[in-house]
Amino acid sequence: TLVRGDTYYIADGSYPSYTVDDAVSGTLVITIKKATVSEHGTDTGWNSSYGDGQAVFYPFYIVTSYVVFDGVIGSGSDVNSYGFRIVYPSNCAMGHRLFGMPPGGYFTLNMTDITVSHLAIENCGDSYDYVQVGIYSNPGEGRNITISHNLFKNGNSNILYRNWIDSTISDNYFDGNWSSGANHGTQISSGSHDGYESTNVTIKNNIFVNSYGTAVLSVHREKNKTHKIFNNLIIGGSISFGFGSGDTSGVQDVTKQFEVHHNTFANVILGGQGALFVGNLTGVANDKSFAYNNLFYNVKNPNFGNYGYTSGAIVHTHNAHFNSTGTYDSSEGGTAVNTTGDPFV
């Protein structure tokens, strides 16, 4: 049992599976942090060797509200630099979800105010064609969820969330994902069920390396709206589109009121659905999306035309295309830059 309002410092070592399930008491927070030399609580009984490595779990679950899970240190692509780490199972020949908030089976559980930071999640990779998800979050409703300064690696979907509201994915490093016919790949998968919507989700300041499969962000199942996607760096890979609707069969109103701006794509192969794809809208006047000030270098098909689907569903201006192909869309008019050369010199 963890006490609300307390902070728990975790020493180096390997730990068994754990579930944070303590009842809510007002807005009192349970804080779980990696012990470090500079921050570890009382000095009584402290040994510096407790705080110079990682605390490793498999798996880890949160099924309550008001929780901070913070590894304190770590950045970039080095899994060993992070205070907390979730490792894949010894038997990769099985589907698995490494960090659940909540895991499967909690479709009616509402969760609020969860923060996960400085956590490295490394999955098995494409040698094992089974579902591999890093963070899996499928509550009845998830509100004020923050996923920041983490490393995700080798899942077919590195983050999968449903029914999130007013939540943020920021400053993370996505070091590749994989895709197959049985398990379609996305860096992030978003959706909703039972009449809910994922709304007001911000995805910013992330680095996405070597994205494969459907998209960097693929949204599907009913409604997703008012997502703000900006200041992300997308490097390498081959995907059907950058951000938007994974329901390409013509499902209505899956992607509404997205804002996609100030992102940089370099050396990426996009399919014919382009950098942003929203599909069909029943109320295009109110539910259109906007894309502006995005930079493309050496990218295939970085268009915003929403070709073959609702016309006028994406308003796009002031996007720059260098050494890229498949960029033309007359609706952008004279605001677009479409040229050769290297913008990074």
DSSP 42-88: --TT--GGGGSS-EEESSEEE-SSSEEEE-----TT-GGGSSEEE--
For 31, other C-beta atoms within 10 Å of its C-beta total 16
**Helix (H) or strand (E) segment spanning residue 173:** strand 173-175
Percent of the chain with pLDDT over 70: 96
CA distances from 285 to 217, 223, 274, 315 (A): 24, 17, 22, 11
Task: Give residue 134's pLDDT.
Answer: 96
- Cα 230 from chain centroid (whole Å): 13
Task: Give residue 250's pLDDT.
Answer: 67
Q: Using omega within 30 degrees of 0 as the cis cutoff, is the peptide bond preceding 102 cis? A: yes
Contact between 281 and 313 under an 8 Å Cβ cutoff? The reply is yes
Task: Give residue 330's pLDDT.
Answer: 66
Q: Which two tokens stand for residue 229?
A: 């996607």
Tokens 């990696």: give the residue: 34
Of 8, 170, 148, the C-alpha closest to 74 is: 148
Tokens 């909690």: give the residue: 106
Of 82, 83, 188, the C-alpha closest to 137 is: 188
**What pTM, to 2 d.p., does this model score?**
0.96
The residues, ordered by sequence, that sit 6+ positions from 260 with a Cβ below 8 Å of its Cβ are: 229, 230, 242, 243, 275, 276, 289, 290, 291, 292, 294
Residue 209 burial class via C-beta count within 10 angstroms: exposed 0-12, middle 13-18, buried 19 and up = middle
Q: Which two tokens stand for residue 170?
A: 């920021």
Q: Could you say which residues of the chain have pLDDT below 50?
A: none
Task: Give residue 332's pLDDT.
Answer: 74
